[in-house]
C-alpha cells in the first residue's frame, strides 16, 4: 500500500497543474503617466474568460489631486455622458456618479507611483458590443480613452 502513495501524490499534482496550463490569459496591465496618457489604445479580452482583470499603474509622480487616473468601462455611446456626470460628482466620488449603472467596471482613482486593479464579469458583456475605457478625471477622457473588445485572444495595442 505504502508504495502507491508517491504515485498517487504525483497524479494529484499533475491534476492540479493541467487546468492551470490550459487557462486563458484573462488580465492585462495598463500604464498611465504624468502626460495624461495610457500606454494602450486598445484592449482585447479573450471571450473564453469568465472574469477579466485590469491592472492599472500610474508610473508618474504627480499626486492624485493633480493627475489622477482611473480606468472606467462603458459602452461607446455612454462615454461622454458618464464622463460629464462624473466630473459633476466630484473628487469625493472619484469622478464617477455613485451607483451609475452605465459604468460596467472601474478602478479607484490613483496618483503617481500607485497601482490598483479591478476584476469584472466578462461573461455578462456582449461579445459584439461596442465598449470603451477611459479616465474620468476632469479633462482626461478626451485623450485617455481606448477601445475595449472581446475576441479570440487577450491582447493590447500600444498607444502610437
Footprint on this chain of Zn ion (rule: CB under 5 A) = 69, 135, 137, 140
Nearest to 116 by CA among 51, 52, 75, 55: 55
- Taking only Cα atoms into account, the Rg of the chain, rounded to an integer number of angstroms, comes to 19
Least distance in angstroms from the C-beta of 69 to Zn ion: 4
Q: Could you tell me how many residues make up the chain?
A: 160
Give the residue closest to Zn ion by C-beta. Answer: 135
Least distance in angstroms from the C-beta of 110 to Zn ion: 9
Looking at the Cβ atoms of 52 and 95, the one nearer to Zn ion is 95
Least distance in angstroms from the C-beta of 99 to Zn ion: 22
Looking at the Cβ atoms of 81 and 123, the one nearer to Zn ion is 81
Looking at the Cβ atoms of 133 and 150, the one nearer to Zn ion is 133
Looking at the Cβ atoms of 12 and 65, the one nearer to Zn ion is 65
Written as nine digits, the cell of 76 is 461607446
Q: Which letter, b or e, does each residue of 52-70 get, where b requires 16 or more Cβ atoms within 10 Å of its Cβ?
A: bbbbbbbebebebeebbbb
Amino acid at each position: 500500500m505504502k508504495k502507491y502513495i508517491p504515485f498517487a501524490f504525483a497524479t494529484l499534482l499533475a491534476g492540479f497543474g493541467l487546468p492551470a496550463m490550459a487557462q486563458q490569459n484573462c488580465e492585462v496591465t495598463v500604464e498611465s503617466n504624468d502626460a495624461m496618457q495610457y500606454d494602450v489604445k486598445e484592449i482585447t479580452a479573450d471571450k473564453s474568460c469568465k472574469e477579466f482583470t485590469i491592472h492599472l499603474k500610474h508610473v508618474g509622480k504627480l499626486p492624485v489631486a493633480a493627475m489622477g487616473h482611473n480606468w472606467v468601462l462603458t459602452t461607446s455611446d455612454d462615454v461622454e455622458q458618464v464622463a460629464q456626470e462624473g466630473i459633476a460628482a466630484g473628487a469625493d466620488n472619484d469622478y464617477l456618479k455613485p451607483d451609475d449603472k452605465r459604468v460596467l467596471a472601474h478602478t479607484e482613482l490613483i496618483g503617481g507611483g500607485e497601482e490598483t486593479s479591478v476584476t469584472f464579469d466578462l461573461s455578462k458583456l456582449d461579445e459584439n458590443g461596442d465598449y470603451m475605457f477611459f479616465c474620468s478625471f476632469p479633462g482626461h477622457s478626451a485623450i485617455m480613452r481606448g477601445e475595449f473588445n472581446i475576441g479570440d485572444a487577450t491582447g493590447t495595442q500600444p498607444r502610437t
